[in-house]
A and B are shown apart, each in its own frame.
Chain A
Amino acid sequence: MTHEPTDPAGDARASVVIVDDHGIFRSGLRATLGATIDVLGEASTVEEAESVIRATGPDVVLLDVHLPGGRGGGGAEVILRCVAFGARSRFLALSVSDAAEDVVAVIRAGARGYVTKTISGPDITAAVHRVASGDAVFSPRLAGFVLDAFGTAAVAVDDELDRLSARELEVMRLIARGYTYRETAKELFISIKTVETHVSAVLRKLQLSSRHELTRWASERRLL
């Protein structure tokens, strides 16, 4: 994936906190993040993450899905704790796991996106800026999951939470096919901003929907 920043925000800066229990990965990630990103701190457990985020208040938290500590809730628990004390930080989930349940747990807790740990330096930098500006970051895999959970035929009337609109379906399909936001916009003859709006809408649906597939699927895995 190559998610370019929304507008050529070359001089926009974003501050991050890296939360991951592997020291090697943290230092590797710190090295690959672009010059426009300031790393304010690192944490390796749920408790550490909460206190570091509380102390530094970063724009974006790069959050591993699996974390030791807390009540065993991993990344999702960090988000819930930070929401509880009113942090304004946004969360971007990072994972090596290809198990959709891990990803959906953090997304439903409130993460603004999800990327794999094999992501390249420029891509993660772009994703951080995107999340910092309030947009959602969808990997092809997450888009694939959304299509699977919401169905590829269902089309929403109005603002239904349980279905995707025709446009949202198209956007999700293109992202699942490996298109960037820019390529998606070009393909559909819409602006990138519109693509971002659609993706954010889908993210909201993913977080709020009580669609029975999602609910059943999540409760089967004891996520609810």
Chain B
Amino acid sequence: MRPPLVRGRDGMIAGVCAGLAVHLGIGAGWIRLGMILLTLASGAGVVLYGWLWIFVPTTADRADLDRRSGPASFMRDAGTAAVAPPPGRQAAGRDTGATATAPGRDTGTAATAPATAPGRDTGATAPGPPAPGPPPSGEPESWGERARRAGRREVLFGAGLLIMAAVLLAQVLGVQVDWAFLVPVSVVVTGAALAWSQLDDARRARLVSQARAGRPGWGVRLAAGIVLVVAGVLVALSSSTSLSLTMTTLIAVVAVLAGVGLVLAPWGLKFWRDLETERASRVREAERAEIAAHLHDSVLQTLALIQNRADSETDVLRLARAQERELRRWLFADPSRDPGSLSERLRATAGEIEDLYGHPISVVAVGDAALGPAEDALSQAAREAVLNAAKHADVAVSVYLEAGPDSIDVFVRDRGRGFDPDQVPADRAGIRESIHSRMLRYGGSSELRTGPGGTEVHLRLPRTGAGQSGASRSAGSGKDAG
């Protein structure tokens, strides 16, 4: 399978030749030579190059296209990946189209490498800081990339100087050179190239981030390109006719352009707005679809289950609680909350036991702590306490976590009938082993208070100096999973 025809970012000018080289499987140098030969044939190469520049997508465009076209594109990506060079090489690639770019980059670099050396030499005649970086294209550039780009600029600049020197030499040797034609044309070409390269960058920037498409640098460069083109055309015209006639023509042209612009502006604006509206509505549609899918998978299923089990009160209660918890997590999940923290662990445990026994278990957390071995033991002990409460007390359970600077305290409280600790059979290891000994092993303590009003287990874990860094985050973690 042939790799798709895309323009890599590492071509000499716009990546057309490098892209063609990858697509056709020929060395980029040969393609470039062919382009130059074609150019000598009354400029056909330049026209072809410009045409390809406009119509061949960049790797970034391509990646965007693929992303939109769903799972099928995955297979296509896998196909291109097979052509890609070994991973070590690929690691250098960092833009979105890494897989597709990599081959292009390889040939591109290979072709540039020899050219760069003389380029550096010519660069010496025009020293100074490396060309001010290319227009920031919205992605951070690696140093290697930047250096290569700068090298390319110098090569282009050097090539320009060489061509000029050749022309001057030809003039010295007696060939008639029409400067009045050559200068404006080269100005026009430079301006067009500048404007077109902005088109590229603007598109890429939009892909990366919509907000950045309106960067001022982009507009300035585009304007500079247009000014160059207009000035070049004017000079070319005025060289053949009188100045006053040129001025008259200019005024007429500007007037006509302004008129046309006035007529077309509302249309353009309308098109732009329509585009924006469509894009926004597509985003909304996607969001709606996601919410609908989630509600269908969770709430609707649970409601159906509840209807089936309407005669069993405990089942209905359990289902409702579990669904409520799940929905809450989905709606109010706070991404800043660390899933590996003690409070999150306690919440998860509470939810699990709630599902098991059907009694509501509410967790209130003040402060939080990272999970170390000691905190882990604490959460295990707390789990055991909650389990006991849910199992024996048969009522709602409250869990309170307070992570202070000196200690972490967990209270597990129920309003059951209470029990007599002395009458717990010796073979029941729950409280003694799972709770008390576990806390002791980590320098903590546990305390049991029970009576007719209910039972409360207090677990306390002193904080050592090391564990305090992530301690007691204040506001924001006081949410409750219950």
Contacts and interface: CB of A to CB of B under 8 A. Distances in A.
Partners in one complex: yes
Interface of A: 2, 97-100, 118, 140-141, 143-145, 147-149, 151-153, 173, 176-179, 183, 213-214, 216-217
Nearest to A151: B474
Contacts of B364: 140-141, 143-144, 176-177
B349 interface: no
B474 A149 contact: yes
15 contacts: A2-B415, A140-B362, A140-B480, A141-B479, A144-B478, A144-B480, A148-B367, A153-B405, A176-B364, A176-B366, A177-B413, A178-B413, A213-B474, A213-B475, A216-B475
B475 A217 contact: yes
A217 B360 CA distance: 29
Contacts of A178: 362, 398, 400, 411, 413
A141 B476 contact: no
A145 B476 CA distance: 8
Most buried by B among A2, A145, A178: A178
Contact of A144 (B328, B332, B365, B413): B365
A141 B481 CA distance: 10
B413 A148 contact: no
Contacts of A213: 474-475
A118 B400 CA distance: 19
Interface of B: 328, 332, 360, 362, 364-367, 398, 400, 402, 404-405, 411, 413, 415, 453, 456, 472, 474-482
A145 B456 contact: no
Given A140-B398, A149-B474, A217-B476, 8 more contacts: A97-B332, A100-B476, A100-B479, A140-B362, A141-B479, A177-B413, A178-B398, A178-B400
A99 B328 CA distance: 9
B405 A140 contact: no
A98 B365 contact: no
Contacts of B411: 177-178
Given A98-B481, A140-B362, A152-B366, A183 B475 contact: no
Nearest to B481: A98
A118 B364 CA distance: 16
B342 to A, nearest CB: 14
Contacts of B362: 140-141, 178
